[in-house]
Amino acid sequence: MLKVSAGDSVAFEQLVMRYQDRLVGFFFHLVQDRSACEDLAQETFLRVYKSRERYEPTARFSTWLFRIAHNLASNQKRGASRRREIPLGSPAGDDDFRPQHQFLADKSALMPTRQLDSREIRDVVRNAVEELTEGQRTAVILHKFEEMSYEEIGEIMGLGIVAVKSLLSRARGKLKESLEKFL
């Protein structure tokens, strides 16, 4: 990153190649939209490029990068919720609507010996993750997939270590509640 700060375009290309999969994965777990997650990852790199001269190597580069990504995702989420006119969730009067994991749970209950296939498990887990709050989801993704410590997560999300502990504890409690029946 120091080379990038000095205007080295080859170094920037290497940086993009090194972190692109991690960023795309991070955004995908947050927004669950392939095209949107690439746009967000691209925007993150653009922001990194724009602020390259202000970068100070006080923390790990990945922490700085994911802080930018987290801010971008939060802003996008806020923007999307302001634009939304019809509330998401169960439409009034639509009795047929059920979350997918609930549907699968019911199906499993009817067939106790039935084993869920990997695709079904993935859908159930994805739905359980989607039920987490935005903060819980971000903390879970950073910890599980980016293998970040509580301190790094705190730096990225602007929280203290105690708050991160609490956030992850609640998130894992919720996940356990949603997924326990599939174990």
Which residue ranges make up the site for another protein (CB under 8 A)? Answer: 12-13, 16-17, 20-21, 23-25, 28-29, 34, 37-38, 41-42, 45-46, 49-50, 118, 121-122, 125-126, 129, 135, 140, 143-145, 149-151, 154-155, 157-170, 172-173, 175-176, 179-180, 182-183
Smallest gap from residue 177 Cβ to another protein (A) = 9
> Which residue, 1 or 179, is less far from another protein as judged by CB?
179
> Which residue, 18 or 97, is less far from another protein as judged by CB?
18
> Which residue, 91 or 158, is less far from another protein as judged by CB?
158
Smallest gap from residue 130 Cβ to another protein (A) = 11
Smallest gap from residue 29 Cβ to another protein (A) = 7
Half-sphere exposure of 69 (CA within 13 A, CB side): 33
In 3D, which of 74, 80, 121, 81 has the Cα closest to residue 101?
121
SS3 of residue 169 by DSSP: helix
> Which residue, 68 or 140, is less far from another protein as judged by CB?
140
The beta-carbon contacts of 97-101 under 8 Å, at least 24 apart in sequence, are 99/127, 99/131, 100/124, 100/127, 101/127, 101/128, 101/178
Smallest gap from residue 50 Cβ to another protein (A) = 8
Contact 101, 123 (CB under 8 A): yes
> Which residue, 103 or 125, is less far from another protein as judged by CB?
125
In 3D, which of 64, 78, 76, 65 has the Cα closest to residue 33?
76
Smallest gap from residue 64 Cβ to another protein (A) = 13
Any alpha helices (H) in the chain, and if so which ranges? 2-5, 9-31, 34-50, 61-83, 100-110, 118-130, 134-144, 150-157, 161-179
